[in-house]
Amino acid sequence: MRDVAVIGVGMIKWGERWESSLRDLFVEAALAALDDCGLDRVDALYVGSMSPGLFTGQEHIGALFADYLGLAHLPATRVESACASGGLAFRQAFLEVSSGLSEIVLAAGVEKMTDVDGAEATYVLSTAADQEYESFHGITFPGLYALIARDYMHRYGLTREQLAAVAIKNHAHGSHNPFAQFPRKIDLETVLNSPMVADPLRLMDCSPITDGAAAVVLCPLERARELGKKKPVKVLGSGQASDTMALHHREDFCYFRSTAEAAKRAFEMAKIERERVDFLEVHDCFTIAEICVLESLGFFERGKAGSAAQEGITALDGKLPVNPSGGLKSKGHPVGATGVAQIVELVHQLRGEAGERQVKGAKVGLAQNMGGTGASSVVHILEGC
């Protein structure tokens, strides 16, 4: 295993991209990543996408994307792990470079979600739950996280306002992110008055439906300065784990074992303690998710992260900034692209080029990307060089 660095990142404007097709979104992000490091070819491509088939009717996207990137003979692989598809694509790319199999690998994530209507998008997303024993009964993703939120509120006394504080904080961060779908601040009233989606979660507790893509270029650390143009960012640790598919099979609905295991493996590889981490990008698909993830990652004790956003601990200027990019909530959540966009944000931050949302003195960042209700998790730790 050799050390690996990220030398190029590409992010595009996320939102309702009516004029852009699935392939357009990918190519735009991939070209941005290639331009960022000044390369025009790679040795392999991994692309994470949850459900291009159900969202757009297009499968076999590895070959399609290689073709439209103008690199038709590339080994191109689609990776799927629901909303963790992007994080997993990055991990596969990391493993391919680290193993010595390839020198330069492009990892991308993409989702085109607005070619179906809202009810259909809700249905497509629900295929990431247990199809026969959860989705069959009419549960949705907001619904599954609402089950978690209700349990958390019941057990730990979490308030509606504390949940809202997560969304308010992430929108405040996202207001400084030009790529974000909703780059604007929101207030408590907006959250509490937004329509109920799955009680107790309201629209403003939920990440939106988004068209988007993101891409990064990886190479061996020792060749990073030779191949890239900008400051390389080193991949310190990578961890992945799974959990029971159905939420009802978990002993503790509020604790993501897959995230805890993935973090443990990533920290073991990185050989650092949690104190070294300066900021986090985590999978806040719903406000409650950020709270449970922070506990599962081991940055808070169980039942203690509920007030973190309200108390400012996880704000940009707090003790542990979480989701400086705006998170899934403000930036958007084109499911397959999210995990890669987290890496993009880590690199922007670690290069010190995050502008108004820059975490001061950021040296080490952690990204946590999760599929389903945490049936799969990917954790990466990156360090600026």
Partner 1 sequence: MFSAKIWRESPQRYRLEAAKCLGCGKVFFPPRLVCLGCRGREFEKRFLPWRGRVLTFTVIHTAPTPFVDMAPYCIAIVEVEEGVRLTCQLVDVDLEAVEIGMEVELEFRRIQSNQSDGVLCYGYKAVPGGGE
Active site residues: 83, 333
Asked if 60 interacts with partner 1 (CB under 8 A), we say: no
Query: Binding to partner 1 by residue 191, rule CB under 8 A?
Result: no
147 is an interface residue for partner 1 by CB under 8 A: yes
Task: Give how far Cα 327 sits from Cα of 285, 363, 381, Å.
Answer: 8, 19, 17
Position 192 contacts partner 1 (CB under 8 A): no
Q: Is 320 in the site for partner 1 (CB under 8 A)?
A: no
Residue from 197, 233, 235, 282 touching partner 1 (CB under 8 A): that is 197
97, 248, 331 from 202: Cα distances, Å:
42, 22, 18
Q: Does 204 bind partner 1 (CB under 8 A)?
A: no
Tell me the HSE value of 144 on the side-chain side, using a 13 A CA sphere.
31
Is 302 a binding residue for partner 1 by CB under 8 A? The answer is no
- Positive or negative CA dihedral for 218, 221, 223, 229? positive
CA distance 73 to 67: 8
Cβ-based nearer residue to partner 1, 41 or 154: 154
Measured CA to CA, the distance from residue 334 to residue 39 in angstroms comes to 26
Region near partner 1 per CB under 8 A, out of 145-153, 211-219, 269-277, 334-342: 145-153
- How far apart are alpha carbons 317 and 214 in whole angstroms? 26
Q: Does 154 bind partner 1 (CB under 8 A)?
A: yes
| Dihedral of the alpha carbons of 303, 305, 306, 307, in degrees to the nearest 10 | 130
Considering the complex, what minimum distance in angstroms separates the CB of residue 20 from partner 1?
Answer: 25
CB of 286 to partner 1, least distance (A): 11
| Under rule CB under 8 A, residue 43 binds partner 1 | no
Q: Which residues contact 327 (CB under 8 A, 6 or more apart)?
A: 170, 173, 174, 207, 281, 282, 284, 290
Site mask for partner 1 (CB under 8 A), range 81-120, x = bound: -------------------------------------xxx
Q: Does 151 bind partner 1 (CB under 8 A)?
A: yes
Determine the size of the site formed for partner 1 (CB under 8 A): 36
Contact between 37 and 228 under an 8 Å Cβ cutoff? The reply is yes
Per-residue x/- mask for partner 1, residues 217 to 256, rule CB under 8 A? Answer: ---------------------------x-xxxx---x---
Q: State the DSSP string of 228-241.
A: -SS--EEEEEEEEE
d(C-alpha 212, C-alpha 26), whole Å: 8
Regarding 56 and contact with partner 1 (CB under 8 A), the answer is no
Distance of closest approach, residue 177 Cβ to partner 1, in angstroms: 26
- The identity of residue 261, as a single letter, is E
First and final CA of the chain: distance in angstroms?
Answer: 19
Smallest CA-to-CA distance from 201 within 263, 285, 318 is with 285
CB of 197 to partner 1, least distance (A): 5
Site mask, partner 1, residues 122-141, x = CB under 8 A?
xx--x-----xxxxxxxxx-
Which of 248, 274 has the CB closer to partner 1? 248
How far apart, in whole angstroms, are the C-alpha atoms of residue 218 and residue 8?
Answer: 7
Does the footprint of partner 1 cover residue 205 (CB under 8 A)?
Answer: no
Segment contacting partner 1 by CB under 8 A, of 93-101, 197-205, 293-301, 377-385: 197-205
CB 129 within 8 A of CB 373: yes
Name the site residues for partner 1 (rule: CB under 8 A): 118-120, 122-123, 126, 132-140, 142-143, 146-148, 150-151, 154, 195-201, 244, 246-249, 253
